[in-house]
Amino acid sequence: MGSAGRPEEDPIRDEAFRRELVALIPHLRAFARTLSGDPTAADDLAQDAMMKAWDARASFEMGTNMKAWTFMILRNQFYSEKRRSWRQTQLDQEAAERTLVAVDNPEAPVALDELRLGLAMLPIEQREALILVGAGGFAYEEAAEICGCAVGTVKSRVSRARRALQGILESGSYDRDGSSAGEAMNAILASAERLSQVR
Amino acid sequence: MIDQHPMKRSRTKSPSLDEARLRQQAIGVRLRQMFDEVVNEPVPDEFLQILRRHDEDRPGEG
């Protein structure tokens, strides 16, 4: 499928491609992990993306940004899997609620666990924009290409994500007063929603 | 009971903005840390095995 247009086999090019792809595996894993939050599912996702990239190597223009190209493959894969499994999203949410109540360390300024939970609560579009720009080291323009949207859209997603995350982390440390997990979660989500709309 | 001082709030507007900026920075640092932690993990052998096996499956293709 799709290999009809492939020119001729080029072992030297393939080898160069492979070397660059292998060097990107740690970054693909990090992107998958921060995007999905589940280490096992993340590695499956990163492996799928790696194989997709390898299979599509003929369409990659050597010398251009392979990191951005593979990240785009990974995020498209992530979205098509998400679309297939809304149920899984529901389970993620429930797990996040349980863990949120279990977290009990108000002293820590920004605990990694809380940040993970906070990320999981962001809308996916905001989460991926923030990860690409805030952690992956991509410029807004590159992130826009990866996400297939306008640069301005990425910018506003990143800033909304930052504000919402801050709100989630703050209310997370105040709302552990014995109310039910669902109530605490609703309060957090409401405040995230509010904060993400304030300009 | 906790005392409420609404007047204090308006007086400290710019320090709280600074505070917000500092918190943002802290979140940014943590986010990069979280990402880099995974980048620095050794890659599971599985990845390279899959890539190799996939290649061997189709040696004479084309």
A135: tokens are: 């952690």
**Distance between CA atoms of residues A133 and A13, nearest Å:** 30
Q: Which of A25, A31, A136 sits opposite B43 (nearest CB)?
A: A25
Counting the structural domains of chain B, the total is 1
Architecture of domain A1-84: Orthogonal Bundle (1.10)
Confidence of residue B59 (pLDDT cuts 50, 70, 90): low
Q: Which residues of chain A does CATH 1.10.1740.10 include?
A: 1-84
- Domain of B33 in residue numbering reads as 27-56
Confidence of residue B58 (pLDDT cuts 50, 70, 90): low
| Assigned domain for B1 exists | no
Using a CB-CB cut-off of 8 Å, the residues of chain B touching A47 are: 46-47, 50
Pick the CATH number of A86-199 from 3.40.50.1820, 1.10.10.10, 3.40.50.300, 1.10.260.40: 1.10.10.10
Burial class (CB in 10 A: 0-12, 13-18, 19+), A99: middle
Which pLDDT belongs to residue A190? Answer: 62
State the smallest CA–CA distance between residue A90 and chain B in angstroms: 24
Helix (H) or strand (E) holding B45: helix B45-56
Using a CB-CB cut-off of 8 Å, the residues of chain A touching B48 are: 22
Residue predicted with more confidence, B24 or A178: B24
A132: tokens are: 């690409």
**Is A26–B43 a contact, with Cβ atoms under 8 angstroms apart?**
yes
Q: Which residue has tokens 């995020």? A: A75
The parts of chain A modelled with pLDDT lower than 70 are: 1-8, 85-110, 172-199
Which pLDDT belongs to residue A114? Answer: 85
**Distance between CA atoms of residues A74 and A68, nearest Å:** 10
| Assigned domain for B50 exists | yes
Q: What is the pTM of this model?
A: 0.73
- Which residue of chain A is at minimal alpha-carbon distance from B46? A47
Which pLDDT belongs to residue A196? Answer: 61
ipTM surpasses 0.85: no
State the smallest CA–CA distance between residue A39 and chain B in angstroms: 10
